[in-house]
Amino acid sequence: MNNFRFHLNKKWSCILKCTKTVTQKTLPILAFAVVFPFIATAQNWINYTYSNGLVSNGVTSIAIDAQSNKWFGTTYGVSEFDGTNWTTYLPHTYVNTIIVDAQNNEWFGTATGLAKFDGVNWTFYGPGSPGYFVGNCVWAVALDAQGNVWIGTNLGIGKFDGTSWTTYLYRQNVTSLVIDTQGKIWVGFGISGDGVQVFDGTKWGGYTIDNGLAYNYVYSIAVDAQNNKWFGTFSGVSKFDGVSLTTYLANTRINAIAVDAQNNKWFGTNKGVTKFDGTNWTSYTKTDGLPSDSIYAIAIDTRGNKWFGFGLYGYGAEEFNENGVTSVKEAVNENSPKDFSLFQNYPNPFNPSTTISFSLPRSGFATLKIYDLMGREVTTIISEELQTGTYSRQWNATNMSSGIYFYRLQAGSFIATKKLLLLK
């Protein structure tokens, strides 16, 4: 049995910080899938499904981060796509919405609460968190200029300033929430049929079918470059210019709205995707290349590619560009790791399983072993020849006692060791 000594730092903090007790079911699991799309860069439509790397074909929300990684919220977890690799988080979790803040943190509204991911640490908020008195089902998330987080839930609106929660519209079912350039909070009620409410920080106002709104069931809201508000409803989209409401696309359910860099509006509907440039309307349907005419999520990346999700209809995600998609990376050698890396295990703390990932810039014999606090070898996870690439391996510690352990990667002259914590 191999032994070696560790020198422990007096201060050691967990990677995962939760505001409530988190069970194994709620902890994310990290997994990698490397895919090489067989496409031409001039192709207008590209479909991604479970067979490519999506955790589920039921894509309910899409967001794009500062590195142009795509985040897909699904009926069964979250998938991150960097153009080549897929990574899965929050397995078995129904994800309603995703946003990315100015610090490139991802916020996830789920069926069981709110989750934040900063690239390393996860934080969870929900029933049982101090001061959290809104619903567990988070339909919408928005961030204001002061960094406050606003969430729309099945039991009202919650505002989180980083320390405490404030509740508004308690017991109302809020399905969409957007903050405009003046800091006003716009709220849509897609289930209760209460139209739109707006909050200026002091008082509330409202719009319904009685004063010009297309329909009282509001599923999506967007703000364009002129600070016009667009309300997607069960039967049409209403534009509010600050004075009056104008309705378009009557008798069409508007599930999602996005605004591109040219201020064109894109509407995900039950009849396909529709683009409005301020004068002309252009529609795309199954006959043009969509796998389904029911669109529930839209995001637009920096290259002008549009990403569509089809919700419970289960067609995965579709990437589209009128001039040809240009963002998909082809499989070339420069995608291989350039350095040896041993990543922090995830989740951490864990019970009973955790995933350890590492990168090898060149082929060779590698070992990955687990040691206890006394330096005694507990198990060998890997001991074999490996090719260049990034690997992910799981350690199941069902038969181990709670406590601090260490994992050690050796590949040639490279040796790295990290700590992990088993909590039962």
- Over residues 311-363, the pLDDT tens digits come to 988 899 999 988 776 543 333 334 567 889 999 988 888 888 888 989 898 88
Which residues neighbour 3 within 8 Å (Cβ) at sequence distance 6 or greater? 374, 375, 376, 377
| pLDDT at residue 248, rounded to an integer | 98
Q: Is the pLDDT of residue 26 over 80?
A: no
Q: Which of 30-34, 81-85, 184-188, 215-219 has the lowest mean pLDDT?
A: 30-34
Encode pLDDT of 42-82 as tens digits: 468 999 999 989 999 999 999 998 888 999 999 999 999 99
Residue 8 tokens, joined:
């422990």
Are the C-beta atoms of 267 and 260 separated by less than 8 Å? no
With vertex at residue 303, the alpha carbon angle to CA 297 and CA 306, rounded to the nearest 5 degrees, is 20
Encode pLDDT of 30-53 as tens digits: 444 444 333 333 468 999 999 989
Q: Which of 162-171, 226-235, 394-403, 413-422 has the lowest mean pLDDT?
A: 394-403
Encode pLDDT of 137-154 as tens digits: 999 999 998 889 999 999
Which residues neighbour 189 within 8 Å (Cβ) at sequence distance 6 or greater? 172, 173, 174, 175, 195, 196, 197, 216, 217, 218
Domains and CATH numbers, the chain: 39-320 (2.130.10.10), 336-422 (2.60.40.1930)
Are the C-beta atoms of 187 and 179 separated by less than 8 Å? no
Encode pLDDT of 356-415 as tens digits: 989 898 888 999 999 998 889 999 998 888 888 888 888 888 889 999 999 999 998 899
Residue 303: how many CB atoms within 10 A of its CB?
Answer: 12
Encode pLDDT of 293-309 as tens digits: 999 999 998 788 999 99
